[in-house]
Every structure is written in structure tokens, then in C-alpha cells.
Chain A
């Protein structure tokens, strides 16, 4: 009698531990290539529920009003979702079967959602060759397209033109050695504390490191795109190069996790960094003048390349109004609509021909982003990518902050990746 409570507690503890035990998320593979049904040619009808995150969710209702005007029978309800935990909201909705008809989907989520069999393959009447290739690839899971790139971004190197002049540099470098020499000159001649504001490892640092790996012609997958390839010698070269900025004191080992990029850029303390197009308005907001800075492509080892991000648009399998949902997505990919959306949101168009619009082609800095987008690449669409790259980011923190051996770090990242698997 006395022992009953102890046994009960023990049983409950075991049960609780079993319940909380976690392994890899068991995303069943997307399987073989899926064949998509085409959509009808008439106008869109009925009601559509659409989810979109953050500022896009805030502004999308204004854009879809025009879609509703062109298709009088349709009503589009846009729900704006915060970026925080948006991923949780999607996966919960997928499990419970309460997904919307169509939604903006983070470009690194495609593999996972397609693996959960939640996404509808793109119908053949949508021309996927109109998009930037790197961005288009983020939609392709196991040979099937599950969405379209809606807007894109890529990473370039920002630098202060006035300080570069002081450092004796008038034409931006195009190779790795040139970039490092420039960053050094910023320190020795232009009074910068650090020449380059590289992220010292930690979450998301792969987005700064991989552009160099890709510029060295590295491939993040091997065996015909079936396995991770972190210990590739070409990636190793890029990581060694990245690490040298920290060992030579050009980048700050102790850079905070929430970097003070904008004010440091303005004060000239760190006059160079690598980031995406949103930083243009961010640095201008803190008082950097438009003619005080410029952007340059990632310098090449073999060919210049960068990371392509952004968001995709996808239709969910559970949609009761699939036909009209795809019509909306097709409309969003129209070059004219894309240019208009740039005007409303400053999101860069994913459709190449939309860049001919004077509002975009007239801007020198934007044009450089456009040029980089042609060669920019995306990480593999394995469902486990987000999980695997977290391990890589942690290894990179050891490399930058503690001077760990890059080869050993990549080997460890590769081992972790292999033990997790691709999830396909």
C-alpha cells in the first residue's frame, strides 16, 4: 500500500519521458515525381483563404483587390501571420488538416511541407523558366515543383564608398584576395576598427559563408543530389578564407549575436558587411547617405555566386478551390503584377522580365542585386535542411570564435548531417 504512490510516480515519469523524447521529425519522403493536373482557363471563382507573413501579409490584401476586380466571382481572404513561430503554425495546420488554400511559404520550408504531402504540384500552364533559376530550385523537391518563387533576395557586400576612396580603392575587387586587401586597407588607411562585418558563426551564419563556397563552385550535395556534402574541399577553402578574417583581426570575433551593423556602418567602425537588399533602407534610415555607400557582387574564386532567399507561394493539397488558388498564384507571377508588388512592398521580383520595369532597372544598386540573382544559388530542399544547418552554424562559431580547425569542423558538420539524413 505504501509503495503504490512511488510506483505510480515512476510510471508517470517514464510515460512523460517517453512522450517528450524527441528524434528526427519523421517527415515521410515526398516519394517519386508527382504529376500535376492543369488548371481550367476561365476566371477564378469562390472564396480563397491565403496566409502571408509579416509585412507581406499586411500589404497583400491591397494587391489582391486587383485580382478580385479582374475576377468578379472571387473573394480572397488574406490572413497576416507573424514570422515568429509561423513555421509552427503551418506544421500544426498541416497535421490538423486546417491549411489555407494558398500561402506564402519560406523558401527553406518547401522540402519539409512537400515531405508531409501538404503541397499541390505546380500545374503545367505556369511557366517556371520565367523565374531566376536559383529561386526556382527552392521549389523543386525530388524533381517536382511544389510552388513558385514569389519574391527574391540575395546577399551582396555593402561598403562605404567614401571610406573606400580614403583607403585608395575606387573599383571594387572581383576576387577573394582583392576583397581581403580592401578590408585590410579600410583598417589601416580609413580608420575602421574592423574591415569586414562578418557574422562570427551562430544561427544563420551559413548565409554569409555559403556565398563564398558557391563562388568557389562548391556543391552542397553529392551522389546526384541525394546526400549532404559539407566536407567538400571547395567548402573547406571557403571556410578557411572566412576564418582568416577572424584570425587576422579583420572581423570581430566577439561580434554580438544581434549585430549593430547599421550604426557601425554609419560611424565607419565597420565599413563593410554582407547582407540582403533590405539593408539599403535600414542603413539609410540611420543616416547613411545614398551616395556614401554601394554594393558589390560576391568576389569570385572561380565564379561569383551568392545565396538566394525570399519566399515562395504554394497551393495546399487540401484546398477545396484548387483551380482558383493556382489562378491567384499564376497572377502573382505575372511580370506586371510583380513590378507593381515591388512598388508596394520593395520585395524584389522573382520573374526575370519584371526587372525591365523602369522603377527597378533605373536603380544602380538594385541592378547589382539583379545581376547577382542570375547566378545565386539556394540550399538543397531536403526536409532536414533547417535541422542540419543548425549544426553547421554551431561548428562555424567554433571556427570563427575559437579558431577551431575548419577541416575538423566541416567533418563534424558532415557527420551530424549524415546521422540526421536528408529526410527524403
Chain B
């Protein structure tokens, strides 16, 4: 009896929390069908009074949308893949392998976490320019292929895996690469899923770096293009902005849902404890 009652309360709390999380998202989607006048109305409306597809028509007719979408996808996928590969490699080495200076190396990586991104921003841009990568997709990808946070995350996770797996692999004569790739990496599912989601989101939403590096509109990513067309010097076209945000967020949602399943699988298969 008491159990059902506590569950009842739990459901109320969960429903309220869910509403709080989902409401802004629903408002964004509904808002993308409203006119500028209705969006600025006070008190605001919830359901569009005169629903219009105008924002979407303008979005797709004015933006070179497929180009920006391809750019964003290429950059986000490459950066995510790079992080998954390199961060797990470094993290594995720092967690499992014995070599001189391991501790110092780890502290060095951690130290770079303390340096704010704005400090390295301009030097990084100068570097990328001098290498001749400004205004190119590699210029958007290469500087972010590995991140100290990712290394930290993977190192912490792999530290929690049993060392016996490493010894067993060595006894059985597996090469170091094979031990990493075939034994440890498959066990890192949850950590990789987390890293993948965070990296993809970060790269997909990144605004300042693509804006500064891209010198032509053909190299712009979605957030840059969206800011370009929806925000003026003195006015913002909220409808266009919301329509754009809706379209931009869809791939992120898809990735999230896809990874979520892997995330659960990952937990289920790491049964060795």
C-alpha cells in the first residue's frame, strides 16, 4: 500500500520534471509556425493562432541549406570519430600501460583543462592560418580531434576495468593493439557513448570557431548560417530562428536516441565485475 502511494508521488514528480524539460522544446517547435507579430505578443500564445509555414519556406529558400548541413555533418562526425579513437587510446595508455612519466603526462593533460578556451583561441587561429588551413573543413576538424576532457573520461573509466584482462591477453599472446582493440574497447561502451554524445553536441553547436575560420559562406556550418540570416543589427527574426533551431536539433535528437540504446547495451554487456 505504502509502496504504491510513494510510486504515485514519484510519477507526479517525474511528469512535472518531464514537462519542465520538454516545454521549451515544444514551444520552439510551435513557435516556428508563428508569425513575428504573434511571437512578440504579450501575453504569449501557446498554440499558433494563424499557423504558417512561412518561416520554413524562407529558411529553405534563402539558406544554402544542404551545403551547411553537409559541412556541419562532416565536421561533427569527423571530430566525434577522432575523439572516440584518440581519447580512448590515450586514456587506455594512461590507465593500463606502465611507462616512465605516466603520472606527469596525465597531470599535464589535466592541466590543459584549466586553460580557458578563449585564451588559446587566437593563437590556435594564427596557427591554423599559418599552416594554410583557414577557410577549409580540415581547419574546422583537426584542432578538435582529441580533447583533454575525453582523455580524462576514458582514463577514469578504463582504470575501473580489471587489469587481469590485460595480463590474460598478454599470456595468451595477443598483441598490445589487439588487447586494446578487442578486449578493452568493447568494454568501454558506456564511456564511448557518453564521449560520443558530448563531442557530437559540442561540435554540432560550435559557433565561434567555424565563424572565424570559415572565410566563405560555402564553408559555414549550420549555427553560423542560422545566426547570419535570423539576427540583424537591430532586430531578430524569431520565427526564422526557431524554425532553424528546430531543423538543426533533429539530427542531434536522432543521434541521441541511437546512442541511448547503445548506452543501455553497454551497461548490460559489461558484466565482468
Q: Are B234 and A278 in contact (CB under 8 A)?
A: yes
Q: Are B233 and A264 in contact (CB under 8 A)?
A: no
A19-B116, A278-B234 as given contacts; A93 in contact with B216, CB under 8 Å = no
Residue B217 CB within 8 A of the other chain: yes
Interchain CA distance A8-B110 in the complex, whole Å: 10
A8-B111, A12-B111 as given contacts; A88 in contact with B208, CB under 8 Å = yes
9-residue interface stretch from A75-83, A139-147, A241-249:
A75-83
| CB < 8 Å neighbour of B207 from A13, A15, A85, A264 | A85
Interchain CA distance A263-B43 in the complex, whole Å: 10
Q: Are B122 and A96 in contact (CB under 8 A)?
A: yes
Q: In the complex, which residues of chain B have a beta carbon less than 8 angstroms from the beta carbon of A8?
A: 104, 107, 111
Q: Are A81 and B228 in contact (CB under 8 A)?
A: yes
Residue A254 CB within 8 A of the other chain: no
Residue A191 CB within 8 A of the other chain: no
B contact face: mostly helix, strand, loop, or mixed: helix
Q: What's the nearest-Cβ distance from chain A to residue B259, in Å?
A: 29
Residue A24 CB within 8 A of the other chain: no
Residue B232 CB within 8 A of the other chain: yes
Q: In the complex, which residues of chain B have a beta carbon less than 8 angstroms from the beta carbon of A89?
A: 211-212
Interchain CA distance A282-B236 in the complex, whole Å: 10
Q: Are A57 and B115 in contact (CB under 8 A)?
A: no
Which of B115, B207, B233 has most chain A Cβ within 10 Å?
Answer: B233
Q: What's the nearest-Cβ distance from chain A to residue B237, in Å?
A: 10
Q: Are A263 and B37 in contact (CB under 8 A)?
A: yes
Q: Are B228 and A54 in contact (CB under 8 A)?
A: yes
Q: Mark B192-221, 1 if CB is under 8 A from A, else 0.
A: 000000000000000110011001110000
Identity of the chain B residue whose Cβ is nearest the Cβ of A77 in the assembled complex: B216
Residue A334 CB within 8 A of the other chain: no
Q: Mark A284-312, 1 if CB is under 8 A from B, else 0.
A: 01110000000000000000000000010
Identity of the chain A residue whose Cβ is nearest the Cβ of B225 in the assembled complex: A82
B219-239 residues at the A interface, CB under 8 angstroms: 224, 227-229, 231-235
| CB < 8 Å neighbour of A285 from B37, B125, B129, B212 | B37
Q: In the complex, which residues of chain A have a beta carbon less than 8 angstroms from the beta carbon of B183?
A: none
Interchain CA distance A19-B122 in the complex, whole Å: 13
Q: Are B227 and A84 in contact (CB under 8 A)?
A: yes
Q: Mark B168-196, 1 if CB is under 8 A from A, else 0.
A: 00000000000000000000000000000
Q: What's the nearest-Cβ distance from chain B to residue A234, in Å?
A: 28
Q: Are A53 and B233 in contact (CB under 8 A)?
A: yes
B107-137 residues at the A interface, CB under 8 angstroms: 107, 110-111, 114-116, 118-119, 121-122, 125-126, 129, 134
Residue A98 CB within 8 A of the other chain: yes
Residue B71 CB within 8 A of the other chain: no
30 inter-chain pairs at a CB distance below 8 angstroms, sorted by A residue, are A5-B103, A9-B110, A12-B111, A12-B114, A16-B114, A16-B115, A19-B115, A20-B119, A54-B228, A58-B62, A77-B216, A79-B217, A81-B211, A82-B224, A82-B228, A83-B231, A84-B227, A84-B231, A85-B208, A85-B227, A88-B212, A92-B122, A92-B125, A95-B122, A97-B129, A260-B41, A262-B40, A263-B40, A278-B234, A286-B40
Which 7 residue pairs are nearest across A and B when measured between Cβ atoms?
Answer: A12-B111, A82-B227, A16-B114, A286-B37, A82-B228, A260-B42, A84-B227
